[in-house]
Structure 1
Amino acid sequence: MHISIILYPDFETLDVFGPVEIFGKVPDWKMQFYSRHGGLISNRDGVQIATESFNTMPQSEIDTLFIPGGTGARTLILEADYINQLKQLAQKSRYVLTVCTGSALLAKSGLLDGKRATSNKLSFEWVKTSSLRTQWIEKARWVTDGKYYTSSGISAGMDMALAFVQDRAGETVARQIATRIEYRWQQDSQQDEFCLK
């Protein structure tokens, strides 16, 4: 499994590195960071990550595309060219995972039309404006609909990542990883204690 992780300025740190910690412990799974133009990408926490440009991504099928959230999503959602690039990458991906407001970027592309999805509860009303055709599930910790996995905010990405590992590599592997990182995995995808309603 090769996971292509999309970064952009002001991405949310734990959105990325929680799941990265999990994916990195699955035997033979590889990860690569990408951004629109490549180079160093920084977030508000001062974390800088070296990335390859979208142009260097596989031209054929992509195993898994991973899209985090962050305040930068609120700017990028207004950039039609960026959303179109993201759409093209997602269309040729076997699986697409989003954390937090990353689901707003994907929904804006139209790929979540008619599908169930969730997002960060503190930003939920804004996220819903990205697509009126998406079936937004506010109470869910994460949602799986076909090849799309969307999670609530920040730490919820770790629960979703473990669920994705379970689906691809088995429950034993997922449980071993959760134990190794001393993480209490919430396996009930339908309940998010941070839901405001």
Structure 2
Amino acid sequence: MDRRTVVVIFEGFQLLDLAGPADVFATANLLTRADGYDLEVAAVRAGQVSAQNGIVALARTPLAGLTGPIDTLLVVGGLTLSACPADRELVAEIARLAPHCRRITSVCNGAFLLAAAGLLTGRRATTHWLAADRLAAGYPQVRVDADAIYVKDANVWTSAGVTAGIDLALALVAEDHGHELARQVARGLVVYLQRPGGQSQFSTPMRASTPPSERFRELQAFIDDNPTGDLSVPALARRSAMSERHFSRLFTAQTGMSPGRYVERSRAEAARRRLEVTADPLDRIARESGLGGPETLYRIFRRHWRISPGDYRRRFHAEEL
């Protein structure tokens, strides 16, 4: 029997959240004759549903008309979803269908709809890196992993932003049919079967809270502008005319991280920018970013972005036109 797969969409949804997984499943269907995927697109009301980019999809089935059993329920995301109250009817229908599904999944900030339906309570989950803090703040009972490309917790799967829906769908195919079929699908779609690293490699610079105190805002700017300087706690405390203990306590309270952690992140960001825009060798980048040598640069990149500096440069270096 084909695996009944219901994709839930809504006005303003992200088209790639639907199209990416749908093409993975369709490609898998071409390569296997048994237990393929029978896709249904559903919305609160049947009919035309506009994606955020203006393209219209057709939801043939109203959610209220669906009954079980369902193999996989896939809830897509949308650019404004995490910032707006969830549609109560949409959430209620997702909650109603969940007990009849073998597997429940979301793409991008579709995780907010699963959370609102109570399906992520006590679970580990992920979402787009831009929305991870809001998911954690709005649903403290969810263990949010802001770096994961996708997360499986029992029968509930969540994925990171947008194209990560393809990674998620490939993982579902691998679970259903084995890694060889998933590998064939990935080759056909010219994507990674499992991309290296987490989603933090795609994020904007690692953030600290903006301090309310002008003194600490100026100190942050000084640290960012002087990666090779003496940025030890004693030196920064002297610059701030405070004892080391008092300085460390206030800096952490103002920025949300310790001085040492902020300095490491600032230097890592300096190295990341140089990897993107220069062809300098790694030892020079490490030295001029305040990281000492290539070994430290490698260790910090593996810790923060789960890839090597060389891999990062190959993906994100901007060649001059």
**TM-score, normalised to structure 1's length?**
0.91
Count of aligned residue pairs for this structure pair: 195
Residue aligning to 1:81: 89
User: What amino acid maps onto 2:117 in structure 1?
Assistant: S
How far apart in 1 are the matches of 2:45 and 2:84?
14
Cα offsets for 1:89-121 (capped at 9, x unmatched)? 122211011010000110111111111100000
User: What amino acid maps onto 2:102 in structure 1?
Assistant: R
Residue 66 of structure 1 and its aligned partner are, at CA, apart by 0.5
Residue aligning to 2:75: 67
Of all paired residues, the percent bearing the same amino acid is: 27
User: What amino acid maps onto 1:66 in structure 2?
Assistant: L
- Say if 1:195 and 1:136 are closer, same or farther in 2 by CA, change over 3 A: farther
Contact 1:10 1:70 in 2 (8 A): yes
Cα offsets for 1:27-57 (capped at 9, x unmatched)? 3211010000111000121211111111332
> Would you tell me which structure has more helix in proportion to its own residues?
2
Residue aligning to 2:139: 131
Alignment of 1:1-197 (within 5 A): 1-27=3-29, 28-51=36-59, 52-57=61-66, 59-74=67-82, 77-187=85-195, 191-192=198-199, 193-195=201-203, 197=206
SS of structure 2 residue aligned to 1:21: helix
CA RMSD in angstroms, aligned pairs only: 1.8
Higher mean Cα deviation, 68-77 or 118-127? 68-77
Larger Rg belongs to: 2
User: What amino acid maps onto 1:6 in structure 2?
Assistant: V
> Would you tell me which structure has more strand in proportion to its own residues?
1
User: What amino acid maps onto 2:194 in structure 1?
Assistant: Q
Cα offsets for 1:147-170 (capped at 9, x unmatched)? 111000001111111011101111
Residue 191 of structure 1 and its aligned partner are, at CA, apart by 2.3
SS of structure 2 residue aligned to 1:86: helix
How far apart in 2 are the matches of 1:78 and 1:177?
34
- Say if 1:130 and 1:31 are closer, same or farther in 2 by CA, change over 3 A: farther
Higher mean Cα deviation, 81-90 or 170-179? 81-90
How far apart in 2 are the matches of 1:186 and 1:130?
30
Question: Higher relative contact order by CA 8 Å / sep ≥ 6: 1 or 2?
Answer: 1
Contact 1:104 1:128 in 2 (8 A): no
**Structure 1 unmatched runs, 5+:** none
How far apart in 2 are the matches of 1:162 and 1:97?
13
How far apart in 2 are the matches of 1:195 and 1:110?
28
How far apart in 2 are the matches of 1:17 and 1:180?
15
Contact 2:126 2:151 in 1 (8 A): yes
How far apart in 1 are the matches of 2:99 and 2:203?
30
SS of structure 2 residue aligned to 1:32: strand
**Structure 2 unmatched runs, 5+:** 30-35, 207-321
Residue 195 of structure 1 and its aligned partner are, at CA, apart by 4.8
**TM-score, normalised to structure 2's length?**
0.57
